[in-house]
Amino acid sequence: MKQAKVPNDTEMKRLLAVIDTGKHASRNRAAAMLSHLAGLRVGEIASLLIGDVFDGDGNPREQIILKAAYTKGHQARTVFVSDKLRRELRRYQSSFETTLPNDAPLLKTQKNTAFSANTLCQLFGELYRRAGVDGATSHSGRRSFITKLAHSGVSAKVIMTLAGHKHLSTTQRYIDVNDEMLRAAVEVI
């Protein structure tokens, strides 16, 4: 089965430019950043509630606890939120017209309902298509997250844990390799 494309830096800039100039920019950017900066699956993103992501004072949490019901393997896990992602979440929160209750969906469709995983998957596909990133899907952000960690020297066990995988072989399938990475690798010698 063909894997989702891992966007390069130029493609990522195009994606964000398309998002930032489109309808529902802050919501769509938050969804993309949860995928690219935290490695969340589309179903996990669609399941998030305001209280999962923001604390009682309205600040983005340093950790998001994914309930078992949210995850593919039905295993609760902790997602660590980087400073960059917290800034993105603050940016998204500033677009709220009112304070939202903790049990409200984090992301809402234009019909003001929670996204389903399928609907959010379609949104990602449309955003990548409009950005001209061929081969990218809703899984591209997750693959990008895992690939960047691997190429930054993060240990395989840590990546596996962050991704919520039970087997290292699953994590390894996510890691993308391109010519630039191969060139850099041989320069180490």
> Comparing C-alpha atoms, which of 108, 124, 109 is closest to residue 42?
124
How many angstroms separate the CA atoms of 125 and 119, rounded?
10
DSSP 73-140: TS--EEEEPPHHHHHHHHHHHTT-SSPPPTTSBSSB-TTSSBPPHHHHHHHHHHHHHHTT-TT--TTH
Q: Indicate the fold that domain 24-120 takes in CATH.
A: hpI Integrase; Chain A (1.10.443)
> Comparing C-alpha atoms, which of 139, 150, 140 is closest to residue 177?
150
137-175: pLDDT as tens digits: 999 999 999 989 988 888 889 888 888 878 878 778 777
107-128: pLDDT as tens digits: 999 999 999 999 999 999 999 9
Question: Taking 80 as the threshold, does the pLDDT of residue 29 lie above it?
Answer: yes
C-beta of residue 21 within 8 angstroms of C-beta of residue 156: no
Higher-scoring residue by pLDDT: 118, 184: 118
Domain extent listing, the chain: 24-120
Q: What is the pTM assigned to this prediction?
A: 0.90
